[in-house]
Amino acid sequence: MRRLAVSILLTALLLSGCGAQMSPDEAQESIQVLAMDTAMLITTYGERSPAAAYACEDAIRDLEKQLSRTDPDSEVSRLNASAGEPVEVGEDLGVLLELAKYYHGSTGGAFNIAVAPVVSAWGFTEDSFQVPSQAELDGLLELVQGPSYIGPRSSGGTICYSLGPGQAIDLGGIAKGYAADKIVKVLQEHDVPRANINLGGNVLAYGDRPDGTPWRVGIQDPARADEQNAFAGVLALTDSFAVTSGGYQRYFEEGGKRYHHIIDPSTGYPADSGLTSVTVVAGLGGGDGFPGTMCDAYSTALFIMGEEQALAFWRDETQRGEQGCPFELVLVTEDGRVVVTPSLADRFTLEETSGYTLEVVPS
């Protein structure tokens, strides 16, 4: 059995009044976009909201053309097919390759875009699902470990990168987060006072709601993933990114066992960490200028690490202070707990009907 969630998994709850006349700043435009294998919802406010919403869509589609691994004409596909030869890359791909290199190092290899050949062996890229043999995985893991690409190199005024023979990259773990970072700039350029951007597991709560209250962002209950409005809890957020990764989002079953799409690059198998979802939250000013990208990368990496290592990583980053990239966490565990870091405690409400127990990490 296979399940690919087309509905928005980290749902923004947009609660608006009925019958009230809206001021120009509260004028709303809302569009749906299907891109990056995800159903997206873009809602902008203000006098320039229509232009802003469609400019956001343009930014998303431009990135998709550059970064899609399944589009043979994309920059990523050309790099993957280069057989070790240097390939010229544009600014966006160059930035993402450097960010991915940093996140690989900071997470001890848990975040690894070079895991692409292993993901393909499981059939998640091509939608032809299978359990690969251990011998096949062992061979592919040799391509995953160590530096996945070399660059940047300057050649005739252009920037080039190269992969080793047989290697390939997949930016699915950070592409939507990077798109959200780009969207912030679009909103700023259009003087948008507020917006709610849902890129399917990646939410940008920009400004506040028209009534001055925070946006309410629901975290999908992994145990009830087939129910659209079944939440583990709800976050109240303003000027923040919230990115969730979970094994419930895409999977198949074979021999009575479920295999999900988040692959542990150290084993080649779907991560078995005791977590069912990880949500990373950060303000617009964090992440060394790329907070959305950071949240996207870390949500995947911390899901692979598991609860203990994820919280240790969070503590280490918090202790770095201004030198670090401050973020907060909501962890949903297999044993029925929702673990929240302290700065989110007063912004998170547990869904009473979910059956989970709430735990706040000690300060």
Residue pLDDT, tens place only, 100-109:
999 999 999 9
Percent pLDDT > 90 in the chain is: 76
What are 189-193's contacts with CB under 8 Å, separation 24+?
189/55, 190/44, 190/46, 190/48, 190/51, 190/52, 190/55, 191/46, 191/48, 192/44, 192/45, 192/46, 192/48, 192/49, 192/52, 193/25, 193/45, 193/46
For range 354-361, the mean pLDDT? 97
pTM for the model stands at 0.91
Would you state the pLDDT for residue 148? Answer: 63
Would you state the pLDDT for residue 152? Answer: 79
Q: Identify whether the C-beta of residue 172 lies closer than 8 Å to the C-beta of residue 136.
A: no
State the Cα–Cα distance between residues 292 and 176, nearest whole angstrom: 8
Confidence band (pLDDT; 50, 70, 90) for 17?
Answer: very low
Q: Is there a cis peptide before residue 152, judged by omega within 30 degrees of 0?
A: yes
State the Cα–Cα distance between residues 219 and 350, nearest whole angstrom: 10
Q: In the numeric block, which tokens belong to residue 200? A: 């399917």
SS3 state at 360: strand
Closest CA to 49 of 190, 252, 226: 190
Confidence band (pLDDT; 50, 70, 90) for 229?
Answer: confident
State the Cα–Cα distance between residues 262 and 267, nearest whole angstrom: 12
Q: Write the pLDDT tens digit of every residue in 124-174.
A: 988 899 999 999 999 999 999 765 667 777 766 788 999 988 899 999 999
DSSP 96: H
